Amino acid sequence: MGATMDHRLSEEHEALRKTVEEFARQEVAPVIGEFYERDEFPYEIVRKMGAMGLFGLPFPEEFGGMGGDYFALCLALEELARVDSSVAITLEAGVSLGAMPVYRYGTDEQRREWLPALCAGERLAAFGLTEPGSGSDAGGMRTTARLDGDEWVINGTKAFITNSGTDITSMVTVACVTGRAEDGRPEYSSIIVPAGTPGFTVSKKYSKVGWNASDTRELSFADCRVPAGNLLGERGRGYAQFLRTLDEGRVAIAALSVGLAQGCVDESLRYAGEREAFGHRIGEYQAIQFKIADMEVRAHTARLAYHHAAAKMLRGEPFKKEAAIAKLVASNAAMDNARDATQIFGGYGFMNEYPVGRFYRDAKILEIGEGTSEVQRMLIARQLGL
Burial of residue 53 (CB within 10 Å: 0-12, 13-18, 19+) is buried
* pLDDT tens profile 338-380: 999 999 999 999 998 899 999 999 999 999 999 999 999 999 9
Q: Which residues contact 184 (CB under 8 A, 6 or more apart)?
A: none
DSSP conformation class of 134: B
E strand or H helix at 171: strand 169-180
CATH of domain 11-123: 1.10.540.10
Say if CB 32 and CB 214 are below 8 A apart. Answer: no
* pLDDT tens profile 282-308: 999 999 999 999 999 999 999 999 999
Distance (Å, rounded) from C-alpha 67 to C-alpha 57?
A: 6
Query: For the whole model, what pTM was predicted?
Result: 0.96
The least confident of 76-80, 185-189, 306-310, 350-354 is 350-354
Ranges of each domain in the chain: 11-123, 126-235, 240-383
The residues with which 131 forms a beta bridge, in sequence order, are 134
Distance (Å, rounded) from C-alpha 334 to C-alpha 255?
A: 10
Spatial CA neighbour of 143 closest among 224, 206, 205, 198: 224
pLDDT, mean of residues 34-56:
97
CATH of domain 240-383: 1.20.140.10
Task: Say how far residue 100 (Cα) sits from the centre of its chain.
Answer: 12
Distances, alpha carbon 339 to alpha carbons 81, 148, 161, 369, in Å: 16, 53, 27, 19
* pLDDT tens profile 207-262: 999 999 999 999 999 999 999 999 999 999 998 999 899 999 999 999 999 999 99
E strand or H helix at 144: strand 144-148
Quick count: other Cβ atoms within 10 Å of Cβ 69? 15
Identity of the amino acid at 224: C
Identity of the amino acid at 248: E
pLDDT for position 120: 97
Structure confidence at residue 3 as a pLDDT band (50, 70, 90) = low
Q: Could you tell me which CATH class the domain 126-235 is placed in?
A: mainly beta
pLDDT, mean of residues 11-36:
97
Distance (Å, rounded) from C-alpha 231 to C-alpha 118?
A: 19
Structure confidence at residue 1 as a pLDDT band (50, 70, 90) = low
pLDDT, mean of residues 171-197:
95
Which positions are annotated as active-site residues?
Answer: 370
pLDDT, mean of residues 69-88:
98
With a cut of 60, say whether residue 190 has pLDDT above it: yes
Pairing type for strands 216-227 and 151-162 reads antiparallel
Output the CA torsion 297→23→246→253 (10° steps).
20
